[in-house]
Amino acid sequence: MLTVVGGTYFEVCHDPKWHELYGSGLRGAIALSGHVSDISFKTCVGNDAINLANAICNSFNIKPDFVLIPETIVFEYYHPLTKPLFYPSDFLNFKTRMPDVSAESILVYGQIEAEVKVSGSYVVYDPQNGISYKFTGSTATHLALVLNHREALLLSGLTDQDNLEEVGKALLKNEEAEVVVIKNGPHGALVVDCSGTHIIPVFKTSSVWPIGSGDIFSAAFAWKWALEKLPAAEAALLASRFTAQYCQSRILPLPVAPNIFQQLRRNTHAQKLYLAGPFFTVAERWLINELRCKLIEFGNDVFSPLHDVGRGGPDQVVGKDLAAIENADVVLAVLNGEDPGTIFEIGYAKALKKRVVVLAENTLENDLTMLIGSGCEITNDFTTAVYMASW
């Protein structure tokens, strides 16, 4: 038996198109519905979505306990890596107080619209809203924190700390937790507990859908650690595999066992990444700038001709650009429009035996023959390109 506490939200993404009722709590409950026979789900939902939420829960044999709010919250993304907008926003000033929850095993996701106090034997807490478990007044005999890099720095108070092991140890002490799992995006995760520190790898997929991936990791970890009582490191490794499965397929509930994915070598230093692509129009410059921002957020050392050289004649730009390609670990090339300069940069990089990732959103397959044959990694998805280049 598992009690899941968390949000039910509409999720809207414009590119690629996505409009579904999920949220962290509902997604986590659905993910485990094929493996846990008795799932109780505590959440807030508006009158506009209660019938749909009921139907979804019934179809997955989930026992819902809804707290009604005026309107179901919407999270809106331009693309999956953008910071979402959410509305209505007035709930931030008037948070709903949910009834206290007491159960043996609990998976708790932080909610921006509600507060809740829980008490359990085995509790997995994924803050999401940046609020400390202790601050909520909740208790647990065995507590595991599962949180991302940013949340870990914030809750530990070590915002200037680069050593995630030290951050994890601080959280163990401050939150009186038994386990701390820090998710670190394309670089895997870190588990800190009484047995030491364990590096959890990331697994390579052919495509990446990151919306909800953290929810899946926490759900799978709760299944394996809180219910099956596996060691934390083993549970986190399985959670990473299940998350890869979800990122590639988006299929829920989770399978009995995840597919076999290639384990990626952990980068111990920032990758030097060359960002190739045309920047002759506002739209092209927006795309290059957006890629650069996300690549830097993922910990890459990015050289962008647009930002680091600028526009000019051959004598002003070519030498610097070629030198940067020679110095790069990876080249990410935007092939939209099949710009001759970008094609040359790809060829130059391949001649130097560099790894090349290509974002080709509107290119005919026949035009990619040489790129495919020379071993370029090709995708038509913005988010997947960022992950591929960062791996």
pLDDT in tens, 36-92: 999 999 999 999 999 999 999 999 999 999 999 999 999 999 999 999 999 987 776
DSSP assignment string, 11-47: EEEETTEEEEEEHHHHHHHHHHTTT-S-EEEEEEEET
The 10s digit of each residue's pLDDT in 119-138 is 999 999 999 878 999 999 99
303 and 229: one domain? no
> For residue 155, what pLDDT is reported?
92
Q: What pTM was computed for the model?
A: 0.94
Asked if the model's pLDDT at residue 269 lies above 80, the reply is no
> For residue 26, what pLDDT is reported?
98
Residue 333: which domain range?
A: 272-390
Count of domains observed in the chain: 2
- CATH code at 349? 3.40.50.450
Asked if the model's pLDDT at residue 264 lies above 90, the reply is no
- In whole numbers, what is the pLDDT of the chain averaged over residues? 95
Asked if the model's pLDDT at residue 142 lies above 80, the reply is yes
225 and 285: one domain? no
What whole-number distance in Å separates Cα of residue 364 and Cα of residue 85?
A: 34
Last residue of a domain, one of 237, 263, 289: 263
DSSP assignment string, 211-262: TTHHHHHHHHHHIIIIIS---HHHHHHHHHHHHHHHHHH--SSPPSSPPP-E
Least confidently predicted of 7-11, 209-213, 232-236, 257-261: 257-261
74 and 35: one domain? yes
257 and 185: one domain? yes
- CATH code at 241? 3.40.1190.20
Helix (H) or strand (E) holding 216: helix 213-222
Q: What does residue 254 show for φ and ψ, rounded to 5 degrees? A: -65, 150
186 and 279: one domain? no
181 and 291: one domain? no
Last residue of a domain, one of 263, 283, 301: 263
The 10s digit of each residue's pLDDT in 318-345 is 999 999 999 999 999 999 988 999 999 9
22 and 107: one domain? yes
222 and 291: one domain? no
What whole-number distance in Å separates Cα of residue 1 and Cα of residue 57?
A: 16
Radius of gyration of the chain (CA): 22
166 and 315: one domain? no
236 and 290: one domain? no
Q: How far apart, in Å, do the first and last CA atoms of the chain sit?
A: 37
Q: What percent of the chain has pLDDT over 90?
A: 87
226 and 371: one domain? no
150 and 89: one domain? yes
**Tokens at 175, concatenated:** 């939150």
Last residue of a domain, one of 210, 238, 263: 263
What whole-number distance in Å separates Cα of residue 191 and Cα of residue 75?
A: 29
Asked if the model's pLDDT at residue 275 lies above 80, the reply is yes
Q: Name the pLDDT band for 286 (thresholds 50, 70, 90).
A: very high
